[in-house]
Amino acid sequence: LKELEHAHALDPDDAETQNQIAHCYLHLGRHETAATLLHKLIDKDPTNPKHLSLLGSVYLTMGNIEKADFYLDKALGHDPLRE
C-alpha cells in the first residue's frame, strides 16, 4: 500500500493506481475508505468495469447485497469482453 500511495503522489490522476489502492483497502478491511475512493473514480469514469466490479465486491464484503448486485450488474454491462 505504501508503494501505491507513493505512486499516487507522483501521478494523482492515474486511475489504475487508485483502483489498486482501493483493492488494498478492501483486503485491509477498510471498506468505507475503499468505497469512497471507488465512488470518486466512478464519478470520473462511470462505465469503467474495473471500478464498478471492485465497488460491487466491497459492498458484497460489507454485506450490502443490494448495492453489490447493482454495481456488479453495471460492471457486466460495460465489460468489453462480454457480448
Alpha-carbon span 74 to 6, nearest angstrom? 31
Cell (9 digits) for 17: 493506481
Distance CA 83, CA 70 (A): 19
Asked whether 11 and 17 are in contact (CB, 8 A), the reply is: yes
Instruction: List pLDDT tens digits, range 19-62.
Output: 999 999 999 999 999 999 999 999 999 999 999 999 999 999 99
Cα separation, 6 vs 15, in Å, equals: 14
C-alpha grid cell, residue 62:
460489507
pTM for the whole structure: 0.87
Alpha-carbon torsion 45, 46, 47, 49, what sign? positive
